[in-house]
Structure 1
Amino acid sequence: MSVTPRIDLHTHSSVSDGTETPTQLVRAAVAAGVSTIALTDHDSTAGWVEALAAAAGTSVDVVPGMELSTNYGPASVHMLAYLFDPTDAEIVSVTARIRDGRLHRAERIVERIAADYTLSWEDVLAESVAGGTIGRPHIADALVKRGHVANRSAAFESILHWQGGYYEKYYAPSPLEGVRMIVGAGGVPVLAHPATFGRYRVIEESAIAALADAGLFGLEIDHRDNTDDGKVRLHELAAKYNLAITGSSDYHGAGKPNRLAENTTSEDVLERIFATATGYARYSA
């Protein structure tokens, strides 16, 4: 009796805002009976080597990836990138600039919060790993540790809410620039959870058309944060522009309630991703 592969193409480690190291993430995938995970830390490839080494000889395959930050007007839009060349000069330069922007933005947010709550930059650093991407989740964890909120989700629903008075944006390329950059590095771009606020907050069709023309591969539709009406609209757009459909957990360990493989991607789509990508093969050859 054949076993249906369980393919989860959106997970995070402590290299960005997950709570498990890449090795621990792989072990969690083995324990959960997941066949394939993509490691997609925010704006970083620093966990690839460890994750691939941890997966060697196990039942889990690791797809090297990243969740690239982009800005679309006032909104933050994330782009999943798979199997690109991590040494590509533009990727290296842009992600370094994003991480630097995230760091200084986080410092400014903490400074402002500290005027109203007991919180220090050292508190936030204690929740991150050396060389990792520091962001608002680490501030949230520091707020939890200080006892200001019950958990990370509560922090984002209150103190760290974008209307909470402490929010700041940071540098990121546009989604179109992001797609072009990923494709230029031989990678495969997928728009991450683009319907978290319903069908009327999905990126405009004209923008989706432009992204598709630039090489957008797919839409992450099966994701717990996409609304039901938003998913209907995304399916319409995927059919119209011949975009693949992916499903993922967006697993963060204990950082979010999301569980590994609670949503999955078909084996056919994964095979198409491997067939489309050229960047990582060049890098690893």
Structure 2
Amino acid sequence: MEVGFCGPGLMGAPMIRHLLRAGHMVHVWNRTPDKAQALAKDGARVVPTPGALASSVELIFLCVSDAAAVEQVVFDPEHGIAAAAQRTHSATRVRRIVDHSSIAPAATRGFAQRAAQLGIGWVDAPVSGGVAGATAGTLAVMAGGAAADVEAATPVIGAYAARITHMGGAGAGQTAKLCNQSIVTATVAAIAEAVSLAQNSGIDAARLTEALAGGWADSVLLQTFVPRMTRRGDTPIGAMRTFQKDVDTIAATAYETGTPMPVAGTVQQILRLAAAMGLADADFSAFVDVLQPGRRN
């Protein structure tokens, strides 16, 4: 199948490679052209604008930074996917957009309504599993949208996902991702506290993975972040600003729905402090640097 993909970043690039290995032809666009061109050697076809995809593929995937980027890619009046879809009379025309970005449920519902007016189905499909999951092709996908649209996209998404769960209508996938991120960010913050307590108490914090393995505190996050918090030089797997964006969205959605989330509120303040300390672009493991500022020196 020929598909389009906007946003070959840390997550998008390995997802595209899985699509190519599965036999799909992938047309790729990125705001930074070099990131798209890097995939040409793998067989991807680079296009100059998002709108260039609208007349050549029926299914387009997005994996961009935030809601503003989604709106620009899809609804820009000059180069956006929707504008090009309106202009084209090709037999091949975009029918569905699958958005892997993590954005607010309310924004997603608005985008889905605007797309529907053009006859384009919208699937919000944020993912969990990080760069490691994208590379391994084992991502968990939480999907929202019409059942027919989710069903149509599922075989293609299966190239890089181990599980796809349809959570409900438009925005339901994004809400599920916020639930995921509330657990992830709170857990990583708690791991940072545990590492700090161990180090300040004079024990080898790096051995916590061994000591807690198999117990209630054990998890993929524990096994991933204790090593990253107790050594230097690991390749970044994501930036703190991404966590801050997600937790700010959690806070806004909690307010909209009247949901008390005191733990998420505390994590939000830690992330804001991290940004004030110049750690917005630091790896996710920088939670421990907020708790131990002298560690960075």
Common topology (TM > 0.5): no
For normalisation by structure 1, the TM-score amounts to 0.34
Q: Answer with 1 or 2: which has the greater Rg.
A: 2
